[in-house]
A = this chain, B = another copy of it.
Amino acid sequence: MKKPFISFTSDFGVQSQGVGVMEGVARSICPDAHIIHLMHGLPDFDIITGARTLETVNWLPIGYHVCVIDPGVGSKRRCLAIKTKRGDYLIGPANGVLIPASRVLGGIVKVVEITNSQYMRELISPIFHGRDIFAPIAAWLAKGTAIEELGPEINLKELIPPPYDEAILSGKEITARVISINKFGSFHLNILSSLWDKLGMQLNEVVELALPNEKIRLMFVKTFSDVIVNDPLIMKDDYGRMEVAINQGHFISKHPLGVGDKIIVRKIEK
């Protein structure tokens, strides 16, 4: 029989025992699961970058994916379990962080609010839902517990919206947002490469990028080295969205930008 697959994503960083403790709690309940850590180095409380990272679970086996980016822990925000079309379950706080991943997994089949304390650990503190609620819920689902057991169904319309929407194409222009910045100072946009294709750009054509405080021009290429060193570029990133970078350089330190900033991409008329 195939073993269930559980993944964890959080902003706990490397100086927290929380990662190991969540894995241990899940392992106690579901000893046979394969458990992996997608990423725990997310910026603190950054639900935009967190949501974009969680999108990459579509590269993992179908499984039970826990995300703990949870600025509202301790407040009254709800806890969710989402069943998706591909067959995965997403488990985490009801702050929108799970929604973009549910889209790449084919959409939401069912959402419940987690209220059944029978599937939680005893709550010794109001501040570590990753260990006391999300990890145990993932493990119980992995063991075969039905999502309906966890709590009442929630109407899709009641869900808190995702921290970013998909970029919008209008004529020759895409209105987009920065959804993550990587360690090389490059950034990723909420533009799916399939949306980009509708802009009708050929490789090596130039676009204009309206950043918050300036406009720049850059070439649409296949990879970094297709432009000369220190030149900016836009390309399809390695997870199906668009990335802006400088070949062998650091875009963000030259053009300061933050996650969430609005960017407009314009095709230049010849």
Q: Is A203 close to B, CB under 8 A?
A: no
1/0 per residue, CB under 8 A from B, across A9-27: the answer is 1000111110111011101
Q: Is A38 close to B, CB under 8 A?
A: yes
Bound CA span A36–B28, Å: 12
* CB <8 Å contact, A20 and B60: yes
* CB <8 Å contact, B131 and A238: yes
* CB <8 Å contact, A236 and B39: no
CB distance from A235 to the nearest CB of B (A): 8
Output the nearest chain B residue to A132 by Cβ-Cβ distance.
Answer: B238
1/0 per residue, CB under 8 A from B, across A86-127: the answer is 000000000000000000000000000000000000001111
CB distance from A128 to the nearest CB of B (A): 4
* CB <8 Å contact, A31 and B28: no
* CB <8 Å contact, B28 and A41: no
Chain B residues, Cβ within 8 Å of A225: 74-75
CB distance from A15 to the nearest CB of B (A): 4
Range, interface on chain A: 35 or more
Bound CA span A16–B17, Å: 18
A24-B61, A60-B20 in contact; A13/B38 too (CB < 8 A)? no
A31-B2, A74-B223 in contact; A56/B124 too (CB < 8 A)? no
CB distance from A61 to the nearest CB of B (A): 5
* CB <8 Å contact, A23 and B36: yes
Output the nearest chain B residue to A223 by Cβ-Cβ distance.
Answer: B74
| Apart from A19-B37, A20-B36, A24-B59, 6 more pairs, CB < 8 Å | A21-B38, A27-B36, A27-B60, A28-B60, A28-B61, A125-B237
Chosen A-B contacts, 24 in total, with CB atoms closer than 8 Å, are A5-B27, A7-B20, A7-B24, A13-B41, A14-B41, A15-B183, A16-B39, A16-B41, A17-B39, A17-B56, A20-B37, A20-B38, A21-B59, A24-B38, A24-B61, A25-B59, A27-B61, A28-B60, A31-B34, A75-B225, A124-B193, A124-B236, A127-B224, A128-B238
- Top-5 shortest CB links A-B: A24-B60, A20-B38, A14-B41, A74-B223, A128-B238
